[in-house]
A and B are shown apart, each in its own frame.
Chain A
Amino acid sequence: MPDIIVCFKWVIDEAYIRTGSSGALDFRSVNYKLSDYDRNAIEAAVRLKEECGGTVTAVTVGTPGATKGLKDALSRGPDKACFVNDQSFDNLEPSQTAAILTDVIKGRLEYDLIICGEGSSDLYAQQVGPRLAEALGIPCVSFVQKLSIDGNRIIAERKVEEGINIMAAQLPALVTVVPDINNPRIPGVKDTLMASKKEVISVTADDLPATYEPALQTVSMTAASMERNCITFPADQAGIQAFVEALAKEGVLR
């Protein structure tokens, strides 16, 4: 019966990011969310548990403000969570996140399988999973769209450019999953209530053996804006005619 760790990130919902008048990003009215593909990662972990038994531990690294994320993650089925939090764990770059996760998992958490998302919704670096596997010295199968456990090994369908590779790896192993792997369940009221009763292990920077320096420095983060006409027409005959004439004028109807 496998012990599964699933790694998730609590991120800014990009749909709420505005562009200020100077072209700078405006984060004032943002909301946070569970990183999209981490919902698939959690669902994959919980489904494996439903099939094979075992346990699911959800792990996240973030600032103390990410508590809401724990409840969201736990309402999706994991047994317990590990909250690695510190005021300084903000805007981490992937090498730092992977190093922190490595130190937290080593010695503290039992695992046969670790599941990560393909990439996080904010950075989409697609690094934390493979880096973590290397640091722990376990096999890694990334971009997995179908996953099962077969005795002592995993069988994973990996999505590659030219098709699918069916992979096998000995446990313990790490996989990163693509969104095609499942349709995450939508937690109900009962799930949310149960989530608040589940165990949360808190780990802070003081409990960790190292300080984690970034290898990548962000020099700037600017809005990728686009100037467009933003003219709309009604759906009546005159509107459609005016629309087609506008296209003709642009010279794109040849």
Chain B
Amino acid sequence: MAGIWIFAESLEQTKELLSIGSTLASKLGTMTSVFLQGNTGVADDYIACGADEVLVLTALAEDQPLDAYIPVIAAEAQTADPDIFLIAATVRGKDIAARLAARLKTGLCSECIGLKADENDRTIEMERFAYGGAAIQTVVCSTRPVMVTIIPRTFEAAARQSDRKGTIRELPAAPPSASTVLERKPKETEAKDISESRIVVCAGRGIEKKEDLSLVQELAAALGGEIGCTRPISEESHWLPEDLCIGISGISVKPALYIGLGVSGQVQHITGIRDAKVICAVNKDENAPIFGASDYGIVGDLYDVAPKLSDAVKNMKG
């Protein structure tokens, strides 16, 4: 047996992996199997989007974490011997992928951003960031299955096709887990999704106090954009929600205009703004790395520059 396997937490992520999986499956002349948790109602959606087989995982007990499925999936893999296993690079997905890779004694390309298959020798070249985003590492895997986690929303989602047929198979229940969930707490603040925003003004550690974020907000308002931040602002100071943190461990943005205020421009942050059309920065240190990654910069104190900039923008727009 062989095939492309897919594991994701949500319908949206599964569809994205299905678009990659279907392309690989047709290139390599094999079929696609998708794991589905609990809700069998969407099995037909998966088949319409490219799955040949849906493997239904039995619903877990309230206190069981998602990794309870590891033994079930590993047992299945040992008999089915898949070629490739695609997993969405969510917190739980990355954990499950690494542990499955250990059980199956195989390699895993983490947080893949691009992959291509060679029909002839059947190798898969996979790209990912290394050194905080300063480098792109290309890897191949010499063991089976080739495992890879894919950062959600890197690829297009698969579209529904008519007249697709597939099979649905139930898997055995998961055994009791080694760890238990005592409580699930939702996030306190829901932030706006800025990954598709046209203009992003980013707050960096050059901002001294939480109240001073108003300077960033005013410039964003003048430009008709949204605000984002660097990791220290969200994760150390907790002044803004983590969903607004731009960079390798946060989100990627691709606005027409990005302006960093008091952002030093470390590579981990820059990796999240590579696809911006125009990058700008205000920093009082003329040697700050961000100027090397910017199209236009102002060397100066943001407390002085930001208000003047907001006014100049308003005047320009009339």
Residues of A within 8 A of B (CB): 12, 14-15, 17, 25, 93-95, 98, 121-127, 129-135, 138-143, 155, 158-170, 173, 179-180, 183, 214-224, 226, 228-235, 237, 239-241, 243-248, 250-253
- Contact yes or no, A253 B309, CB < 8 A: no
- Top 6 A-B pairs, shortest CB-CB distance: A235-B300, A215-B107, A139-B178, A134-B102, A130-B98, A169-B179
**16 other contacts beyond A121-B132, A220-B138, A228-B279, with CB at 8 A cut-off?**
A14-B131, A94-B110, A95-B106, A126-B94, A160-B91, A161-B91, A167-B65, A215-B106, A228-B294, A231-B296, A233-B296, A240-B312, A247-B296, A252-B199, A252-B256, A253-B316
Known A-B contacts A232-B286, A253-B317; the reply to A224 vs B308 at CB < 8 A is: no
Measuring CB to CB, which residues of chain B are less than 8 angstroms from any residue of chain A?
A: 65, 67, 90-92, 94-95, 98-99, 101-103, 105-111, 125, 129-143, 178-187, 199, 223, 235-236, 248, 256-257, 266-267, 270-271, 274, 277-280, 286, 289, 291-301, 304-305, 308-309, 312-313, 316-317
Q: How far is the CA of A166 from the CA of B179 in the complex (A)?
A: 10
Asked if A127 and B279 make an inter-chain contact with CB atoms under 8 angstroms apart, the answer reads no
A94 to B297, CA, bound (A): 40
Contacts of A237 in B (CB 8 A): 308
Also in contact, A216 and B181, with CB within 8 A (given A124-B129, A130-B98, A229-B296): no
Q: Is the CB of A95 within 8 A of B316?
A: no
CB nearest to B316 among chain A residues = A244
Chain B residues with CB under 8 Å of A132's CB are: 102
B125 touches A219 (CB 8 A): yes
A sample of 5 inter-chain contacts (CB < 8 A) reads A139-B179, A231-B295, A240-B308, A240-B309, A253-B317
Which one of B105, B106, B134 lies within 8 Å of A14 (CB-CB)?
Answer: B134
Contact A123 B308 (CB under 8 A): no
Residues of B contacting A216 with CB < 8 Å?
A: 107-109, 139-142
Contact between B95 and A95 (Cβ–Cβ < 8 Å)? Answer: no
CA distance A158 to B111 in the complex (A): 20
* Nearest-neighbor residue (CB-CB) of A145 within chain B: B235
- The answer for the CA separation of A98 and B304 in the assembled complex, in Å, is 51
Q: Contacts A121-B132, A215-B142, A221-B136: A229 and B295 contacting too (C-beta < 8 A)?
A: yes
Identify which of A130, A135, A232 contacts B299 (C-beta below 8 A).
A232
Q: How far is the CA of A23 from the CA of B67 in the complex (A)?
A: 41
Residue of A nearest to B74 (CB): A134
B110 CB contacts on chain A under 8 angstroms: 94, 124-127
Query: In whole Å, how far is A252's beta carbon from the nearest beta carbon of chain B?
Result: 4
> Which residue of the partner chain B has the closest CB to A227?
B295
- In the complex the two chains form, what is the Cα distance from A243 to B141 in whole Å? 48
Q: Are B98 and A131 in contact (CB under 8 A)?
A: yes
Contact B102 A135 (CB under 8 A): yes
- Identify B134's interface contact among A25, A168, A250, CB under 8 A: A25
- Give which listed residue, A223, A226, A230, A252, contacts B274 with CB less than 8 A: A226
Known: A167-B182, A250-B278. A126 touches B130 (CB 8 A): no
Q: How far is the CA of A153 from the CA of B136 in the complex (A)?
A: 40
Q: How far is the CB of B179 from chain A (nearest CB, A)?
A: 4
Q: Give A100 Cβ to nearest chain B Cβ, in Å.
A: 13
